[in-house]
Amino acid sequence: MASTASASARPIGPIGSSVASDLARFAGLLADQTRTEILCALMDGRAHTGSELARHVGVAPSTTSEHLSKLLDGGVVAVEAQGRHRYWRLADRSTAELLEHLGASASPLGAPAAPAGLRHARTCYDHLAGELAVAIYERMVADGHLVPEDDRVVFGPSGYELLAGIGGDPDAVRAARRPTARACLDWTQRRHHLAGAAGTAFLDALLANDWIRRGTRPRSVMVTERGRVEIRAAFRLG
């Protein structure tokens, strides 16, 4: 009996240790508030210079550089050099998704606090988030454009029609080599908004129509006067 227990335990040890080590390393990166603020700024899906990030988080450029180096070593961010500047961004979509889910789970007592502008509308890497995005998602579900099925969400034919109706590109969504639609848990609303290729296409269309505009701070989005009217009509928001 003892030898059987020992044999069954052998493969678990190395695998569990590896996972635990990865989790501990990632948790260590997030344990510093400045690094977390840098990652939150990069959640707008765009690349930023170290100086821009330093101004946003309110620390010295040298300190920001040290934090970015640690995040780069941890595989959480990527960097690209162009001329005299180095541009930093999140490593990939999966990193952004993990950060969004962690944000949604950060406060067990209710939705985490956020500036009013970010709470109403913001970007979540490459798609729209916030109160507006949640309202759009729920209306699309109610109207049958999105069909939740178990642990996934199906983007129906009428969803493509809705996208085309606001000037989006349905063909780009069909051709995308990634999930067409995905329910992303919103970290301030604790409800879902639309991610995936369709989520990106809707964000692009709203920006192209000038219904929304990117704000001056990372992730911030401003709804224009025309956008308030057009978005409400297009998505049948009450």
Scan for tokens 């983007």, then name that residue: 155
Characterize 133-151 residue by residue with b for buried, 16 or more Cβ atoms within 10 angstroms of its Cβ, and e for exposed: bbbbbbebbeeebbeeeee
**Which of 1-5, 24-28, 93-97, 232-236 is predicted least confidently?**
1-5
pLDDT at 11: 45
Structure tokens at 27: 């948790």
Distance CA(225)–CA(235), nearest Å, equals: 16
CA angle 159, 214, 237 (to 5 degrees): 40
pLDDT category, 158, cuts 50, 70, 90? Answer: very high
pLDDT at 5: 42
Share of the chain above pLDDT 70, in %: 86
pLDDT at 78: 94
pTM of the full structure:
0.74
**Which of 67-81, 116-130, 204-218 is predicted least confidently?**
116-130
Which has the closest alpha carbon to 228: 202, 210, 205, 208? 210
pLDDT at 107: 56
Find residue 129's DSSP bridge partners: 122
DSSP annotation of 201 reads: H
Average pLDDT score over residue span 73-89: 92
Distance CA(54)–CA(56), nearest Å, equals: 5
Residue 29 or residue 117, greater confidence? 29
pLDDT category, 83, cuts 50, 70, 90? Answer: confident
Mean of all residue pLDDT scores within the chain: 86
- Is residue 104 within 8 Å of 187, Cβ to Cβ? yes
Neighbours of 33 (CB within 10 A): 9
- Is residue 145 within 8 Å of 162, Cβ to Cβ? yes
The per-residue pLDDT for range 187-215, each reduced to its tens digit, is 888 899 999 999 999 999 999 999 999 98
pLDDT category, 15, cuts 50, 70, 90? Answer: very low
The per-residue pLDDT for range 38-70, each reduced to its tens digit, is 998 898 888 999 999 999 899 999 999 999 999
- Is residue 189 within 8 Å of 138, Cβ to Cβ? no
Give yes or no for residue 152 having a pLDDT over 90.
no
CA angle 62, 47, 122 (to 5 degrees): 110
Our CA dihedral for 169, 170, 171, 173, rounded to 10 degrees, sits at 100
Residue 233 or residue 115, greater confidence? 233
